[in-house]
Structure 1
């Protein structure tokens, strides 16, 4: 009588998940061409190496002007400016806007030297003999998209673990990348067993009990969907030696070997014997229906999972137990449906009488419920798409969406999922490194002041605040560090810049940060201290600094202007100056603190961030001007 091998004690599903999780399926990272990167997962962080756009450009058709030349202009008393030429998109300007002059400009064209604003064409009239009447006053920056307004040089563009969809491919294209580092795809070998199997396309003899091999192709499709690369092997019969030969060949060439069939306790089901003889059998049988006859083990140099022979059972077990492990190895997120329902995190006004396709982001609250918040940086901004997860259709008659109101989000992709952590606030090189230690965070470098405002509204998980920003918001301090700030100057400091006094007293071209930045707040306080020493008002000194109001968004952008020769000094960090090979004039040390939404302190990712902050000293190697001890 033929001996039968009985099932071992059936494992519960949690043990099966744990057994598969213990197997090493993760391949080495690789580099791929951007044209082949869709659907892949970034292996490393990608920082912006240039400003996007790389120049100040007009965002409307009209006339490039000096804003101060329009002050006081209105319909009743227009200002008349001399038209000196035209600037079109894709053409380098050949005119300079002097006082009392203007230049015709097209949307997307480079702002000519001397101009700092655009008057839209609808608010102007042409007069004879090359003169333009301006019927409205404009402020510096009106109808202008400044260099780096979309994404600025030095900013964290995309982090490791980011799934590359058409949105991210567009951003990488804008940054000039033709090749990107991605997680490797686990190689999965598939072997179907059973003398009765015939491959599709071959002749089927039903009288002999033959059936087409369904599992090889359905499981291969599941592997590809999960982010792996499937490799089909010839089907094995029930002969021990042939089965051993095919399985060992697959184990040499793949990270994971999957077989289907021959996993039950029948005498002819010998595959478990191959695993016991040539590897290690970790599990045989799972308390789940369908799919009880399941094997988990190691075979020579690869992982092994044996799936049931019935196609429905095989696919069910694959999707439940194996696909998550393949996704983890490939860095691919768990799939979601293409539409999700969530609650508005904030009140959003509308009432424009048109259908609105509102870009929105997703974040999970402390209970794991989905919150929806609006995302909109303007139609010209690539990063709006990267920050948004989908759209909410707002009916034309809708005046507002109330906080807490349920909405349906149409996801940009079924692969989209809420970020593990949503952070906002100050841009910082050390912070970028710490974010890399988390799962799939989303960080919006909106500045300290705006970060606190958003935290007050209750949308983000954390806000990062630098310098003496007002912290009149309920929050939990998770920790932080100190960074050295000052003036970034050309190498060797040819102008002899010594500090804030040099900006006031010398004829220097200076580049500042925007009003949301903690760096700007620290500089403003330093100017105020100098004013007190000299017995004058802060306004008096500010008015003497050439470029105090010439602001850029990201921490590295002023230094880039200095590097390009467009400025004599810019506000920045020692770390930035050293990395770019520039000079540095220190002005002090600035505290950087991470404040958590008090309702999210128990959220897994927030707890993970608190832990990472405690290890900040371990991640500042190569960053000068940092003290990661408690401040």
Structure 2
């Protein structure tokens, strides 16, 4: 009489997936050196602690000048300046730009004092120690300002970021030596069966021996999924031997995978061993190939039993197990290396050269994939970290039209559109809120840019500060207020906005697209009305009104290092760096969604993270609006 044990009720595939996902592979985090971080997943947010670049630098070869000296210059009526010297990359300038003077400068070199623009060398003609300037330039032309790539205090990379070569480059640019990453789940691999021989051993065909394939294919799959494979000597079909190997694997690993011995015959005993060591949750799944699959847990590890046939084992692994390993490691599901989508906006470029346009991907509420350009210049590493791939523009193509179908060459097969695309104001509370959203992407380009992107149908949400109003049909999903004003090293220097007038104090402002700048300009407008003057006149009397710094913390750091007497920023930033602060009021910050994106899951996660108020509790000068 046979004591054969038949399969229990077959489980449907979705239930099996849920069971494996519910095994709870919480592997924690660890800190690894930067050189070992590629392919790992950040466990915590990394904020910039320095400006990149840390100085104003020339973005091309040419002549550093004061832009005002070039006004009116042209091909037929050049402006001639004296050449006072030269500056090369990697060396401090030992010359300054004065009236009537230019300085020869190399790409990447520090801008000399007094210079605010670079004239390209091809638009000049040199004659001895004098140079003819054949084009006019504006302040900031051909100059990458300090912090233009990444600004100190800015969110650089968020938790859940899968670190690629471009992210490693950004971390290196920030001086980061080691990073906190999700630990790799240790996965023990045990192949069972009396017939197995490790590759390299001698086969006895008469005894029905075969090489052990599953140990190696499954180990490769574990590694590709982001796990750390740990292989064990294959076990026979003896209960005591199986128990010994599985017990050792369970003590040393987070997940144990066996292959073979999962059917219901009398010699296949592994399911009995699992029940003795822990709990058998599933024995058999209604799927082909791969029906004889086991799911269970030991005291200290999760367990999945794969079929013995290699094709079945690998199919079940890739379908059911690999996603759980990737999730534990923090990795996203892989996609193909290319993706098609529609251009969200028009992209223009002069014909004649092949161009690879860095682009990002976003999906609308219906799942339609949109492609938008992401380009902050060839010297900016964030042009890559904010992008998902590139679109090639042929040499004879001058534009990609909005709505045009394009193929994106993805940076890696694992790239997916973010769950949320936001554009707008730079804000420290927002950084904390975004940490609680799955795979967000946020571009801190300023409130006015955020409004434009929302109106153009590119972004899911916009973050608008101060007087920058949202589009009429936008859906508000959260708001708060933040205290803003002026920072200085010596609070006695400042009594208010009036202290800046007259030029006695040097000032550093925020860019025109910033909502903080908009509030400052409104305050200046009110003061001008009181004085029966104009805002332009008052702005002209402020030394450094046109001098801008990119992020909310940038002016504070500029003042802290003595490069300006006062700056426009937030109380929270002043408190963090220990500077004096003069309040100019409380500014509203509104997060609004495009009406057709308000139901996206990422938008919902963002609304929930704002709504509980935790992000604002520890920030000076912040209040959540209820």
Alpha-carbon shift at residue 417 of structure 1 (Å):
1.6
1:469 match: secondary structure: coil
Q: Deviations over 1:357-378 (max 9, x none)?
A: 2211111121222211112111
Counterpart in the other structure of 2:235: 236
Residue 365 of structure 2 is aligned to residue 380 of structure 1: no
2:509 match: secondary structure: strand
Partner Cα distance (2:199, 2:580) in 1: 69
Counterpart in the other structure of 2:89: 89
Residue 620 of structure 2 is aligned to residue 624 of structure 1: yes
- Spell out the pairing of 1:519-534 with structure 2 (5 A cutoff): 519-534=516-531
Alpha-carbon shift at residue 43 of structure 1 (Å):
0.6
Partner Cα distance (1:38, 1:75) in 2: 50
Residue 9 of structure 2 is aligned to residue 13 of structure 1: no
Counterpart in the other structure of 1:518: 515
2:529 match: secondary structure: helix
Counterpart in the other structure of 1:420: 419
Is the Cα–Cα contact under 8 Å of residues 455 and 473 in structure 1 kept in the other structure?
Answer: no
Residue 125 of structure 2 is aligned to residue 131 of structure 1: no
Q: 1:131 to 1:393 in 2, by over 3 A?
A: closer
- Spell out the pairing of 1:116-515 with structure 2 (5 A cutoff): 116-128=116-128, 130-472=129-471, 474-490=473-489, 492-493=490-491, 495-505=492-502, 507-515=504-512
Is the Cα–Cα contact under 8 Å of residues 503 and 543 in structure 2 kept in the other structure?
Answer: no
Counterpart in the other structure of 2:78: 78
Partner Cα distance (1:621, 1:335) in 2: 37
Is the Cα–Cα contact under 8 Å of residues 514 and 553 in structure 1 kept in the other structure?
Answer: yes
Is the Cα–Cα contact under 8 Å of residues 248 and 300 in structure 1 kept in the other structure?
Answer: no
2:605 match: secondary structure: helix
Using structure 1 for the length normalisation, give the TM-score.
0.97
Partner Cα distance (1:111, 1:241) in 2: 75
- Structure 1 residues without counterparts, runs of 5 or longer: none
Q: 1:289 to 1:183 in 2, by over 3 A?
A: same
Task: Select the residue among 543, 560, 572 that pairs with 2:569.
Answer: 572
Q: Deviations over 1:391-448 (max 9, x none)?
A: 1122223233222222111111112221121111111100000100011111110000
Counterpart in the other structure of 1:611: 608
Partner Cα distance (1:107, 1:27) in 2: 46
Partner Cα distance (1:351, 1:132) in 2: 29
Is the Cα–Cα contact under 8 Å of residues 508 and 545 in structure 2 kept in the other structure?
Answer: yes
Alpha-carbon shift at residue 342 of structure 1 (Å):
1.4
Counterpart in the other structure of 1:3: 3
Q: Deviations over 1:490-528 (max 9, x none)?
A: 1x42x5201110011460010001010000000001111
2:582 match: secondary structure: strand
Is the Cα–Cα contact under 8 Å of residues 29 and 180 in structure 2 kept in the other structure?
Answer: yes
Is the Cα–Cα contact under 8 Å of residues 425 and 515 in structure 2 kept in the other structure?
Answer: yes
1:385 match: secondary structure: helix
1:316 match: secondary structure: helix
Q: 1:552 to 1:367 in 2, by over 3 A?
A: same
Greater displacement, 241-250 / 618-627: 618-627
Partner Cα distance (1:113, 1:51) in 2: 19
Partner Cα distance (2:355, 2:101) in 1: 40
Alpha-carbon shift at residue 126 of structure 1 (Å):
2.6
Alpha-carbon shift at residue 351 of structure 1 (Å):
4.8
Partner Cα distance (1:98, 1:405) in 2: 50
Greater displacement, 203-212 / 119-128: 119-128
Is the Cα–Cα contact under 8 Å of residues 461 and 596 in structure 1 kept in the other structure?
Answer: yes
Is the Cα–Cα contact under 8 Å of residues 470 and 592 in structure 2 kept in the other structure?
Answer: no
1:324 match: secondary structure: helix
Counterpart in the other structure of 1:49: 49
1:201 match: secondary structure: coil
Residue 33 of structure 2 is aligned to residue 33 of structure 1: yes
- Spell out the pairing of 1:528-547 with structure 2 (5 A cutoff): 528-547=525-544
Is the Cα–Cα contact under 8 Å of residues 342 and 372 in structure 1 kept in the other structure?
Answer: yes
Partner Cα distance (2:586, 2:365) in 1: 34
- Structure 2 residues without counterparts, runs of 5 or longer: none
Partner Cα distance (2:376, 2:99) in 1: 32
1:552 match: secondary structure: coil
Greater displacement, 247-256 / 495-504: 495-504
Partner Cα distance (2:582, 2:3) in 1: 84
2:493 match: secondary structure: coil
Q: Deviations over 1:556-594 (max 9, x none)?
A: 111110111101111001111111111111111111111
Is the Cα–Cα contact under 8 Å of residues 93 and 111 in structure 1 kept in the other structure?
Answer: yes
Residue 114 of structure 2 is aligned to residue 114 of structure 1: yes
Counterpart in the other structure of 2:557: 560
Partner Cα distance (2:409, 2:130) in 1: 50
Is the Cα–Cα contact under 8 Å of residues 513 and 553 in structure 1 kept in the other structure?
Answer: yes
Alpha-carbon shift at residue 322 of structure 1 (Å):
0.4
Partner Cα distance (1:357, 1:78) in 2: 35
2:168 match: secondary structure: helix
Partner Cα distance (1:68, 1:232) in 2: 70
Partner Cα distance (1:390, 1:368) in 2: 19
Alpha-carbon shift at residue 336 of structure 1 (Å):
0.7
Is the Cα–Cα contact under 8 Å of residues 503 and 541 in structure 2 kept in the other structure?
Answer: no
Using structure 2 for the length normalisation, give the TM-score.
0.98
Is the Cα–Cα contact under 8 Å of residues 426 and 464 in structure 1 kept in the other structure?
Answer: yes
Is the Cα–Cα contact under 8 Å of residues 21 and 325 in structure 1 kept in the other structure?
Answer: yes
Partner Cα distance (1:140, 1:353) in 2: 29
1:514 match: secondary structure: coil
